[in-house]
Amino acid sequence: MSRLAVVCGGSRGIGGAVALLLAERGCRVVVLSRDQDSARAAMEALPGGDHLSLSCDVSEEQEVQRSFETIQKTCGSVSYLVNAAGINRDSLLLRTPPHLMVSMLHTNLLGSMLTCRAALRSMLRPPGGAIVNIGSVVGLKGNAGQSVYSASKSGLQGFTRSLAKEVASRNVRVNLLLPGFIRTNMTEGLEDSERLIPLRRFGTGQEVAQAVLFLLESQYVTGAELLVDGGLHLSM
């Protein structure tokens, strides 16, 4: 029986690359995205069949609950959860209005908490599963003009470590992946930043997806943080 993988933010970017790789590896994939059309298009492009797409704003508790109830009824128990949904609005703190602070914190941090809670209800009966939260090297090192984004991503570090301790006895593993500059829509216009990266290039969604797959499949790894940044953390 193929594993059921839920990819939040799976319609494009890192999430889209993760969804594609998991489908290629034989998983049945559920693509969650705020935009139903984008989610459906991404799902239809996946190899294999019997995948599912759902419109879901991960920052809204009722939408998350409804989506995972649909997943349980339609597809069964969740084996893998990847939290790749995220937003970024670069700005100095003094220029960041409160509503943007709330939006980033709700999507990047609260959203992962809500989806993890919903997925765990499925993973704990019977026990077993794996979760990968997508953080950022900025959450580890900080960056001027990204204080709120950094706070939302660094919050994932404490959340992931604590949740890993909570559910390890039930054979559920929870890990954190920390990308650097990855070539997606969110990094358009940042090509000059390549000089900061020791490997002198941006990463690809496929390279991040390979690291996600490693964390999902590694049976003796939990509470870990994996940097996929071309060495960027060495120069920050």
Q: Is 36 helix (H, G, I), strand (E, B) or coil?
A: helix
Q: What are phi and psi of 25, to 5 degrees?
A: -85, 5
d(CA 194, CA 92): 22
Q: Count CA atoms closer than 13 A to 178's CA, side-chain side.
A: 25
Q: Is 208 helix (H, G, I), strand (E, B) or coil?
A: helix
In DSSP terms, 173 is beta-bridged to 130
Spell out the residues 6+ positions from residue 71 whose beta carbon is closer than 8 angstroms to its own: 4, 6, 30, 52, 54, 78, 122
Quickly list DSSP for 154-201: HHHHHHHHHHHHHHGGGTEEEEEEEE-SBSSGGGTT-GGGGGGSTTSS
Our answer to whether residue 80 is catalytic in this structure is no
Question: Which residue's structure tokens are 């390279």?
Answer: 207
83, amino acid identity: N
Which of 56, 110, 147, 149 is catalytic? The answer is 149
User: Which residues form the catalytic set?
Assistant: 149
